[in-house]
Chains A and B, each alone.
Chain A
Amino acid sequence: KQEVTQIPAALSVPEGENLVLNCSFTDSAIYNLQWFRQDPGKGLTSLLLIQSSQREQTSGRLNASLDKSSGRSTLYIAASQPGDSATYLCAVNTNAGKSTFGDGTTLTVKP
């Protein structure tokens, strides 16, 4: 059974710092991996999707990498801002349609 772990569980940084969030998974037979953002009491907003054949994806200040063989993905956030404060979730998806989420990293960016 796929298990997804996100480290750290919580992170507090001053504004302007670059930071890395980690996601690890136990079964490398994945279809894709998706990073989401969730604000308190809200739904999930898709940030980046990496196909199993890709190594990284970039969108603005966000960069996600994938190392399928080692079962790891990282989300890099450059020049963090208070508006980046949220919980970040990674989801690992199989070709058969199963989705497994990590527990998330709660990020606080202090002004």
Chain B
Amino acid sequence: EAQVTQNPRYLITVTGKKLTVTCSQNMNHEYMSWYRQDPGLGLRQIYYSMNVEVTDKGDVPEGYKVSRKEKRNFPLILESPSPNQTSLYFCASSLRGELYNEQFFGPGTRLTVL
């Protein structure tokens, strides 16, 4: 089944404890992206990657890191999480041709930082 998977789905952690949220897609998509969704602020792009070894900042990159060593994986790293990073996180992927470039989203990761 073609899908975007995220792990973990739920995470409660404490301030300063490094964590990684994994994202994997099995559709051979070039493009991958991370978003956070907060009440009243909507969905905001954190980082995106047009292809392997190519990453760019979105609108809210502060406090996050990403890497794209393989086409299928795009982990989101929080080196020192803070309570303001409590949010619902989504990973997405798509092709980058002229057609068939709709974004497919993962199920989301709900993160709470105490």
Contact = CB atoms under 8 A, between A and B. Distances in A.
Given A43-B90, A51-B98, A99 B103 contact: yes
A60 interface: no
A28 interface: no
A43 B58 contact: no
B43 A49 contact: no
B44 A101 contact: yes
Nearest to B41: A103
A63 interface: no
A44 B105 CA distance: 6
- Give the interface size class of chain A: 20 to 34
A97 B31 CA distance: 8
A97 B33 CA distance: 9
A78 B15 CA distance: 48
Contacts of A102: 42
Nearest to B43: A101
A104 B42 contact: yes
Interface in B61-114: 90, 92, 98-99, 101-108
